[in-house]
Amino acid sequence: MINIKDLHKQFDQLKVLKGINLEVGKGKVVVVIGPSGSGKTTLLRCLNVLEQPTSGLLAIGDQVLDFSQQVTKRQIPPFRRLTGMVFQNYNLFPHMTALENVMEGPVTVKGEPKETAKEKGEMLLRKVGLADKIGFYPFQLSGGQQQRVGIARALAMEPKVMLFDEPTSALDPELVGEVLKVMKDLAAEGMTMMVVTHEMRFAREAADEVIFMDGGIIVERGKPEQIFSSPKEVRTSQFLNLIQ
């Protein structure tokens, strides 16, 4: 489903991604871990071109962006629609209710009729356990509730892949569980997911594969049990020792 070939990203002099190669099969859940500054968030943001890669190739489904050639502004929005993004700080639209947040993409981008979008929005909010918060503005919701609206908003565009950028890092500890539960349900339904997180329990329970990044490259990848119990690389075990 996702195919990344020799992806590089450079900010001025700083090389953040130094040749990433990765394939993610349909319905797979990949968890990306690594120290801060390792490039994991940049990798995720490259996948929906919020950061434009310096060079390399990105493919999602049958759509391909080749950054060794000129990528035009027109190519980017259709490619973005293949992915749904969930942000660390939720980034809900504060001037819209929960339902309006979820309806925005389908109505404005896809041109769906409001009635259809409303039905779908209500369905998605029910799915993330917020059926009773439909008319609430973001400021009236807890962090966990806001993040679940964020997930519903991304799902409303019917993406092929869901990207999660540290979705629970800004949450109070007691609110983390409700967001992880929604993500696990999603994984169980067969959604292809790429998750940058520090939640090792989620990685153990829901990931098909764990990727450890450091210094802009993928240092090690494998099944969660293998990475967590017997990492092959020294850097991986050092990192895991630090956080556990």
Instruction: Provide the binding-site residues for another protein, judged by CB under 8 A.
Output: 48, 50, 77-78, 80-81, 83-85, 87, 89, 91-96, 104-105, 108-110, 137-140, 153-154, 156-157
Q: Contact at 8 Å (CB) between 137 and 159?
A: no
Shortest CB 52 distance to another protein, Å: 12
Residue among 84 and 231 whose Cβ is closer to another protein = 84
Shortest CB 92 distance to another protein, Å: 7
Burial class (CB in 10 A: 0-12, 13-18, 19+), 162: buried
Residue among 21 and 89 whose Cβ is closer to another protein = 89
CB atoms within 10 A of CB 96: 16
Residue among 25 and 77 whose Cβ is closer to another protein = 77
Q: Which residue has the tokens 């067969």?
A: 190
Residue among 25 and 78 whose Cβ is closer to another protein = 78
Among candidate residues 48, 35, 46, the one with its CA nearest the CA of residue 10? 46
Half-sphere exposure of 156 (CA within 13 A, CB side): 34
Shortest CB 204 distance to another protein, Å: 28
Residue among 97 and 236 whose Cβ is closer to another protein = 97
Residue among 100 and 199 whose Cβ is closer to another protein = 100
Shortest CB 84 distance to another protein, Å: 7
Reduced to 3 states, what is the DSSP secondary structure of residue 107?
helix
Shortest CB 226 distance to another protein, Å: 32
Shortest CB 85 distance to another protein, Å: 4
Q: Which helix (H) or strand (E) holds 148?
A: helix 143-155
Among candidate residues 107, 97, 178, the one with its CA nearest the CA of residue 134? 97
Which DSSP string corresponds to 152-200?
HHHHTT--SEEEEESTTTTS-HHHHHHHHHHHHHHHHTT-EEEEE-S-H
As a whole number of angstroms, the distance between CA 25 and CA 91 comes to: 28
